[in-house]
Chains A and B, each alone.
Chain A
Amino acid sequence: MISLRIFDLGIALLYFVAAIQVLAGFLFRQKKLQSLGNYLTVAGFGLHSIDLGLQYFFYFKETLVQSQFYFSLLAWAFLLVFFLLWFRLKLKFLSLIAAPLALILFSSSLAISPKVIPIPPRLSGLWFALHIGTLFISMGFLAMAFGAGIAYLYLEKKIKTKSRLSSFSKDLPSLTAFDRANHLAVTWGFPLFTVGTLSGFIWAAFTWKKIFTWDPKEILAIIIWLLYAYLFHQRLALGWKGRKPAKLAIIIFVLTVISMLGVNFLIPTHHSFKP
């Protein structure tokens, strides 16, 4: 495992440099620096994929019970979503959030003590993989909607109040582009989130013989799902656009972060990452 940890540090360093370059490139309006940062993110992602693969195949038993693996996987899922959107929509500004977020998640995965989480048997089941995979990817979408939402609210306020646009905001994409990111987060993210939550409950029914255990994380998940469903409905059925869905997506993402970090680390629950 030692060599893998060194490998991990290398990946973290790549993400770090990439994040700095992308941000600096944007602030100082240097296109070259920005695209260099993007290449580094791609390189980091490649190494990261290899890293995850190696961990999974060689240290299968140890890996799946370590919390750091999940954080690393989450960072990877974020980048996966980012590259998908980047490829499909050419939403370049997403790199502004993608690289730094991946950095934070990945390095926190390194910072977590690699202690074993008490995860019940039958863990490698299909339901569990489904549970983690879909939830993580939908969180990736939500993270994008979060970033796009903040940018949307900032730019919209500037245009509405007719205030001066700084050179920084001049480089931002249009309002419509940000709204499209939100649309994708809703249309793709919500079904994934639903599958993720459902499979969690089904898996719980298998392992604990109980579907709902009044665990704080489960309660929060239900609340998030309800909000997400509301957003899904308003956006697709009533055609909500702009500020309202942007704000709602921001709230939903913040709640998921709370449920991911706050609940797992602070409150005693069987989702806890603490030993």
Chain B
Amino acid sequence: MQKIYLFGLNHRTASVEVREKFALTNFNPLKEGLISQDGPITEALVLSTCNRVEILCVGSAAQEDVENKVLNTWAGFCAADINLLKKNMYFYQDLGAVEHLFTVASSLDSMVLGEPQILGQLKDAYRKAVKEQTVKVIINRLLHKSFSVAKRVCTETAVAANAVSISYAAVELAKRIFGDLSKHRAMLVGAGEMAELAAIHLLNSGVQEILVVNRTLERAQELACKFQGKAACLDDLQDNLLTVDIVISSTGAPSTIIQARDLKKILKKRKHRPIFFIDIAVPRDIDPDVNLLDNVYLYDIDDLKEVVEENLANRKAEAEKARMIIKQEVDKFAQWLKSLDLNPTIVDLLAKGETIAQRELKRTLRGLKQDVDEKTYLAMETLAQSLVKKLYHEPIMFLKRRTREEENAQKFIDLTRRMFNLDNEHIPENAHKDRKR
């Protein structure tokens, strides 16, 4: 009976120092001896990111054996104290492990709920494991399933919807207003970290060009070079407002640098094309009254923060829905695990039957000596094979039915294995002497 185990550290259970100490980058389960010929573990997958280190493995040995093996190998690889690992670690088994993996893949366990990076990291880890040939039937199936669960969670819930970073929220808003950004230019007024981040997001969303305006032209040129855009001096701000559609402002100016009354004139010259201001400076750079003008939209840092917080709250609400989906999928996976137990039994049963058929065929042929031509031989072979298949048909159907209908069909599978002695056990004559009367 194969069991699934999951050992791990994450940002909730362990501090950064501990996670760093037990990181498993470039860990190869085969080379490090986690999987060996007759060891307790048959399949393993290692996920190591900055927020989590996890080992997923499958084996039929007892839990202690697997645990000892994993923890010793892990601590040994990292040359760190095994007790420290034990103190910070979490452990899941079987369906618990499946549920945890689905939760991780769907990004419900991430530091920022719903951020999709983890799925990519999990895919990389899986790709590596496939290359190193450390995964087989169960982990293969489990990982493919977890990718599809993540996809389902993404499409059926809004866990990953809505920006949860300020710069990204600004870009989302720009898209609400302009749609396709490829025909629009953006302008950075002043340079700050957040403004740069927003500029990068804008470029990724296909904005046509970035114009950098700064008090010192040199700094502006430096930044413009980074975004392959243009640079201009702060004195030309008014002129530049005629041609740009998105303005991200973050200067350290003590008072507002763009006034509503100036903008009114500019708007007329712009033929009222809409313009979107993102003011992330404190104190503010842009007169709040510009928001009252038609075709002008202004969001300041507080507005954006509010958007982000709302979105985060929304994600949390959606996470509940996602957990329901995961529960369903875990049930489905459990079903599959069950049928997995049935299938080898069927295979064994048929294999056994075939061996018997071949053996009896040979024996009969020996008795007949050379009197058999090819046609008769083939007919006899077919007869023997189909006799076995017909005989085993009913028991197999019975097992399949039980597995579909009952929770603990395992006992029937167990019974079948014993009845047909599929495991080739030697049973002594007086095995159950006490039961006989």
Partners in one complex: yes
Residues from chain A with a CB closer than 8 A to the CB of B178 are 174-176
Q: Chain B residues near A173: list those with CB within 8 A.
A: 179
> Which residues of B lie under 8 Å from residue A239 when comparing CB positions?
270-273
The number of A-B residue pairs with CB atoms under 8 Å apart is 51
Which of B158, B177, B180, B294 lies in contact with A159, CB distance below 8 A?
B177
Q: Does A209 contact B (CB under 8 A)?
A: no
Nearest Cβ in chain A — how far from B82, in angstroms?
Answer: 49
Beta-carbon contacts under 8 Å, B291-315 to A: 291, 294-295, 297, 299, 303, 306-307, 310
Q: In the complex, what distance in Å separates the CA atom of A238 from the CA atom of B176? A: 25
| Interface magnitude class on chain A | 20 to 34
B30 contacts chain A at the CB level, 8 A cutoff: no
A220-258 at interface with B (beta carbon < 8 Å)? 238-244
Query: A177 within 8 Å of B by Cβ?
Result: yes
Rounded to whole angstroms, the CA-CA distance of A177 and B176 in the bound complex is 10
B192: chain A residues within 8 A (beta carbon): none
Contact B272 A240 (CB under 8 A): yes
Cα distance, A160 to B178, chains bound together (Å):
14
Question: Looking at the complex, which one of B161, B176, B273, B294 makes contact with A244 (CB distance below 8 Å)?
Answer: B294
Q: Is A162 an interface residue (CB 8 A)?
A: yes
The reply on A3 being an interface residue by CB < 8 A is no
Known A162-B306, A243-B294, A244-B294; judge A175-B177 contact (CB<8 A): yes
Contact between A162 and B177, CB atoms less than 8 A apart: no
Shortest distance from the beta carbon of B1 to any chain A beta carbon, whole Å: 42
A242 and B272 contact, Cβ closer than 8 Å, known pairs A162-B303, A167-B158: yes
Q: Give complex CA distance A159, B179 in Å.
A: 14
- Please determine whether B272 and A160 come into contact, CB atoms closer than 8 angstroms: no
* Known contacts A176-B274, A239-B272: A160-B291 contact under CB 8 Å: yes
Residues of A contacting B158 in the complex (Cβ-Cβ under 8 angstroms)? 167
Which A residues touch B295, using CB under 8 A?
Answer: 241-243
Alpha-carbon gap, A170 to B172, bound state (A): 10
A174, B176: Cα distance in complex, Å: 5
**Closest residue of chain B to A162, judged by CB?**
B303
A164 contacts B by Cβ under 8 Å: yes
- Within the complex, the shortest CB–CB distance from A171 to chain B, in Å, comes to 11
Q: Is the CB of B294 within 8 A of A176?
A: no
Asked whether B179 lies within 8 Å of A176 as measured between CB atoms, the reply is: yes
The 7 sampled A-B contact pairs (Cβ below 8 Å) are A160-B297, A162-B306, A174-B178, A174-B179, A175-B179, A239-B272, A241-B295
Known: A162-B303, A241-B271. 16 other contacts (CB 8 A): A159-B173, A159-B176, A159-B177, A160-B291, A162-B307, A174-B176, A174-B177, A175-B178, A175-B179, A177-B179, A238-B271, A239-B271, A241-B295, A242-B272, A242-B274, A242-B294
Closest 9 CB pairs of A and B: A239-B271, A174-B179, A241-B272, A242-B295, A162-B303, A239-B272, A176-B179, A175-B177, A177-B179
